[in-house]
Structure 1
Amino acid sequence: MKGCLFALGILTGLVILAVAFFRLNFYDTHVRYRLTVEVQDGDQVKIGSSVIEVLYNIEPTWSPSHFNSFPTPVGYAPTVDLGEKGMLFLTFSDATRTPAQRAEFNKEVFCLFDDIGCLPFAAYHKSGGGADFNQKNAALHELLRQSGPRDVPFIALPQLIRFVDINDERRYVKLSPDDLAVSFGPGVELKRVVLQLTHDPVTQLPEVWPQWLKEKGQMSAVLKGYQNN
């Protein structure tokens, strides 16, 4: 009987150690920030704002899954309603960049995450850490010590899009942050995008979105994160 209890105690201890080991090495770091998009529309400034939470799944370098470069956004894409001209969406997908733009991005911020994961590092001018587990972990802890609003460099923005027909999710165009007028018309330009770390609750589904977008569709991942579909 004592032998069985002893063996059970050893097994329990091993299980506790295993759980502690995985909790110390496999976990999400949560970074919550508000993104405010300001668009100049003639003599008016139109604003769209959204609080997003990004989950950085940091794993040790020996882990076979290596999800480190693909943080998970929770929330909804910041949206600027320009009335009859349409809506501007700042998506959760990587922007399309030329080799020269990629080089400019790398000069602006050293970060191995995707665009939405690199965004706060670019705003606060902090390194996103290297490929090593400890470097990324340290970079995230340094990021979370920052405060105050910061302008995001346009080169670091994720993909901007506009739906040509707001009632058809298949008809959309990708936009350059430096030339919104090509799609929205003269007098429309991106003024700035402001990021600020916050503890405010994640913004709810925007009321201005069309019904198809409020429901599940092929654009869900890039406009509604990956936990709001």
Structure 2
Amino acid sequence: MIRTILLVVVVFIGVSLGYCYFGLAQYTWHQKMTLEVEVDGQLYTGASVVKVTVQESEPLRKQLGYPLHFGAKGEAAYVELPDRRYLFALLGGGPPDSGPETNALNIFKEQLPKDNPERLVVLSKSHLKTEIPHSHLPLLVTFMDLTDPTTVKVVDPDNLAATFGEGVSLKRLTLEITDEPVTEGKIEQVLGWWNNLTVPIGGNVDRKYGEPLYGIGKWSFVRR
């Protein structure tokens, strides 16, 4: 009898937990970031598509003050310039809320309802597109030697010429909600060392907390 009661209790708890977890609302969209760079009057572009998932948190996380869980899957956008120089727009590392999980919600803020879940529903069904404001630009980097991750260098969006030479300037970065598939495999083709990276980039270089490159690693280029 006791075993039967315990079994009923276990089943009830399992069903209740299953309802709590599998009945959670989820919203997804694909967002495309495009870089446009001018070199001596010629335009060079590169883009990447990231999938963003926003899911209603389970009851415990809600009680802790985290009503939503954000996730992203995809790769950093980059553009190839002459002489095999590359400019990368990282998945994070820039100003607060410039990462892929929340940047669309912030950039399109004025075009969306103020409250959840309405703004998530509208954004996921939209095809919004705009130029990314300077305040939300992701961290831009390049590599002085593409085969050596420790040669990573931060690029000033207002002065690409300081890194790439005269005649090179950032025209703009754009973000749009799209139906295009998530970008996969492009970063590994360019950065052959990416898959073998086990420490933050420049991990053998002494970087101080708060520096732009502090903690930048594999996840800054690819999210899976």
Please tell me the TM-score bracket, short chain as reference.
0.7 to 0.9
Q: Specify the alignment match of 1:119 in structure 2.
A: 103
Structure 1 segment 102-181 matched on structure 2, within 5 A: 113=97, 115-126=99-110, 135-181=115-161
Give the match for residue 61 of structure 1: 62
Displacement after TM superposition at 1:188 (Å): 1.3
CA contact (8 A) 1:121 1:127 kept: no
Distance in 2 (alpha carbons) for counterparts of 1:159 and 1:145: 28
Tell me the CA shift for residue 74 of structure 1. Answer: 1.3
Q: What secondary structure, in the 3-state scheme, does the structure 2 residue paired with 1:35 have? A: strand
5+ residue gaps, structure 1, are 97-111
C-alpha contact 2:27 2:124 (8 A) present in aligned 1: no
Larger strand proportion of the pair? 2
Structure 1 counterpart of 2:222: 224
Q: Does the 8 A contact of 1:115 with 1:157 survive in 2?
A: no
Name 1:77's counterpart in structure 2: 76
Query: Which residue matches 1:48?
Result: 46
- TM-score of the aligned structures, taking structure 1 as reference length: 0.73
CA contact (8 A) 1:113 1:128 kept: no
Q: RMSD value over aligned CA atoms? A: 3.2
Return closer, same or farther for 1:210/1:11 CA change in 2, 3 Å cut-off. closer
Q: CA deviation at 1:176?
A: 2.5
Paired positions, count = 203
| 2:211 equivalent in structure 1 | none
Q: Which runs of 5+ in 2 are unaligned?
A: 201-216
Cα offset for 1:161?
Answer: 0.6
Task: Return the alpha-carbon distance in structure 1 between the equivalents of residues 184 and 108 of structure 2.
Answer: 25
> Which whole-Å deviations, capped at 9, do the CAs of 1:105-129 have from their partners, x for residues lacking one?
xxxxxxx845322321244234899
- Determine if contact 2:97/2:106 at 8 Å carries over to the other structure: no
Post-superposition Cα deviations, 1:76-130, rounded to whole Å, max 9, x if no partner, equal 111101132611000012315xxxxxxxxxxxxxxx8453223212442348999
